[in-house]
Structure 1
């Protein structure tokens, strides 16, 4: 029997929203990594005041693309600049559909003239693999899935992220001196206790640091070496709970909805994807509901990826993406939740809060102005913050809005129905919320 495709699942469900809307879906957690090593509050504090070590070895997919047409393939299916892409450099990968909206991002590392590794959730990797298979390219690829779906064995690679104001002193202690000068999102291959490690200049929460990548056989040895070097600098291991909050302040919106579900030009792609793929199983939930899946699509311009986009070459979606640049009406902001309303909804001690649900943002008189994408309690600032997109005038810092908190039941109920859900007052602030991420860290970023 032929395995069901994403298109089969959509046809059975009747619409993309009937397939994907799952208000009661359990939140996804980092596999293998402990939820906490000390407390999630202390671990959140570590990347701003000392240093934090996050283990990224288990929760992301890696796909290697290699062959004489690897660069041409990637050039044809993404908006990135490949004329300025050095060996050892990484970029925020920006693939778009024919309508110019994002497929979903990832991190693309160029390891050789025609060898690349794409890392992240599998949607962007699936996009490239489909075109590699169907476009006649001289390219091979191999995927290592995350540990929640891996059927046997260990990951191919370890990936440790060391960041915080004391990260560089820990690096110098571990490696016997500072690493070679490396530009932001560029890497250098070095040795740690005789083991080969790629050091990528990077930091997810906006602080200084590196991502260390290498053969998983060296996982324990490299991790132990970093932990030993970090002891004098108050290095903290970051568990899955704190890790899943680190992008709220740095302004990165994770896992945007792939813009693939209705366009007739993507019918063959939907028939290529499995019904059990990320694209078929990643749920949507929250108080913002629409029967139209395209209301959840995002432009790379809205996500702040303009510096990663090159319109100097032809690629799928180029014309639509170029045309959308001056039409973007929503802006990425941070919402500060009102403390009194938080106490009323969550209790006097709200504790750990983290969700990717799309919650409705409205003006005090009830007009819809946007939706949330990533909401989390940030202990060091004593607030719940939400990374969101809002329209026009509502994006001005200091604007007062309301967030409707709870779950819309989905299809069959009017999107703006009065469901009796509580509202939480919130104040619009800039994104990135973290000053270092907004200034010094962002200034280092290049295409």
Structure 2
């Protein structure tokens, strides 16, 4: 029996929107990790005020790309600068369609002259592998799905532990007997823990300093326990699945934009290549913003803030479209600070709503109507309210601008997208993205 493809599902549903629209869909949180260890509020406070340990080992999909054409296939289908890509460096990989819309991003680490590791949700990996196979590139692939999708279960190939917060450097010195070698942001250095090889990637979240430690799974338990013991005097807090999903709202990263692959005739073969039971067919859409046209959910890498990583010094799929888009009045990424009293009224029915996490596309309006759409919203306890990463029309992107978020779940096809469904309105104020000043000004500058 043939495995159903993404195109099969679109044909059966009647449209991409009818396939993907699911009002009230539960927000994604990392699998195989406790929802909370100390409580989400304490866990958020840890990377702002102390030191936090986050386990990324289970929800990342890894694909190793190796061979004489490894750089070529990645450069032909990604907008990044491959002329300046050192071994040991990582980049936010930005593949786009011929029309200049993002497929999705991923973390691309260069492990050797002709070897890379692409990590994240698997949409970018699918894109690269398909084009490599179709184009006859001399390159091979080894994949390790996330733990929720690994055939037959089993352990991942790699562990990934993040150490974050103002006390991160002190914890690292306790574990390794001194400071690690000076390392640029998003570059890695090889280290050893009692003879166990580890790669330390200089990282950060919500503006705080830190490292991501990566190594063979066989050493995972030892490394994890070592960090826990060394961190006890510093008040180390483990971060659970709820809090883990929230720092992107402060640091300005919009996770899982809709892959722009559902409609164009030139991608029909690609949709027939993709299995239905993958990220492209199963990541739901919901919220108060509804359109029957899936293309209204497509985004440009410029809107996501990736303009600085786009490099026009080489030819790549989508290059011509991005050259044009650079001069177009695209939406601007901002952070909305939601009024806490309105959040209590709209989400908590008058009480503290507790933990709020939503990837819903909610309408953002002013007196004249629609001006933007939210991409991710989350409670940030150190801020005292909900923040929302939002794409908004440029004329409304000035910090301090007041707008309204329509908080609700449009039922989908059969109801007018502009219908007044009586959803509560939440007042909000526009602020920059990233919201955190350190994340906005310092830790990205040498990326």
Is the structural similarity TM-score above 0.5? Answer: yes
**Rounded Cα–Cα distance in structure 2 between residues aligned with 1:143 and 1:62:** 6
Give the match for residue 289 of structure 1: 290
Taking the TM superposition and a 5 Å limit, the aligned residue runs for 1:299-310 are 299-310=300-311
In the aligned structure 2, how far is the partner of 1:331 from the partner of 1:433?
14
State the partner residue of 1:44: 44
Q: TM-score normalized by structure 1? A: 0.98
Query: Paired residue for 2:136?
Result: 136
SS across alignment from 1:146: coil
Aligned residue in 1 for 2:252: 251
1:417 Cα offset (Å): 0.5
The residue aligned with 2:417 is: 415
Give me the whole-angstrom Cα distance separating, in 1, the residues matched to 2:98 and 2:211: 35
Match of 1:205 in 2: 206
In structure 1, the partner of 2:355 is 352
The SS at the match of 2:28 is coil
The runs of 5 or more residues in structure 2 that have no matched partner are: none
Partner of residue 108, structure 2: 108
Deviation at 1:366, TM superposition (A): 4.9
For structure 1, the residue ranges without an aligned partner over 5 or more in a row are: none
1:373 equivalent among 356, 372, 375: 375
**In 2: Cα distance, 1:162 partner to 1:205 partner:** 13
Counterpart pick for 1:427 among 419, 426, 429: 429
Contact between 2:290 and 2:417, CA under 8 Å: does it hold in 1?
yes
Contact 2:329 2:394 in 1 (8 A): no
Alignment correspondent of 1:92? 92
Deviation at 1:329, TM superposition (A): 2.5
Work out the CA distance in 1 between the residues paired with 2:407 and 2:148.
29
Q: Paired residue for 1:388? A: 390
In structure 1, the partner of 2:402 is 400
Distance 1:284 1:162 in 2: 32
CA distance in 2, matches of 1:51, 1:291: 45
Query: Which residue number in structure 2 is paired with residue 156 of structure 1?
Result: 157
Query: Is the CA contact (8 Å cut-off) linking 1:59 and 1:146 kept in structure 2?
Result: yes
Other structure's SS at 2:208 match = coil
How many corresponding residue pairs? 444
Distance in 1 between the 2:16 and 2:44 partners? Answer: 36
Q: CA RMSD in A?
A: 1.0
Cα distance in 1 for partners of 2:340, 2:74 equals 46
CA contact (8 A) 1:302 1:328 kept: no
CA distances 1:291-345 after superposition (whole Å, capped 9, x unpaired): 1111111111111111211111111111001110111431111111112211211
Q: Distance in 2 between matches of 1:184 and 1:50?
A: 20
How far 1:205 sits from its partner (Å)?
Answer: 2.5
Q: Please give the alpha-carbon distance, in whole angstroms, between the structure 2 residues aligned to 1:170 and 1:339.
A: 35
Structure 1 equivalent of residue 219 of structure 2 = 218
1:76 aligns with 2:79: no
1:5 Cα deviation after fit: 1.1
Q: Secondary structure at the match of 2:41?
A: helix
CA drift at 1:166: 1.0
Q: Does 1:362 align with 2:378?
A: no
Task: Measure the CA separation in 2 of the matches of 1:130 and 1:443.
Answer: 33
- The alpha carbon displacement at 1:440 in A equals 1.8
TM-score, normalised on structure 2?
0.98
DSSP-derived class of the 2:341 partner: helix
Mapped to 2, the partners of 1:79 and 1:63 lie a distance apart of 19
Please state whether the residue corresponding to 2:371 is helix, strand or coil. Answer: strand
The whole-number CA distance in structure 2 between the counterparts of 1:277 and 1:348 is 38
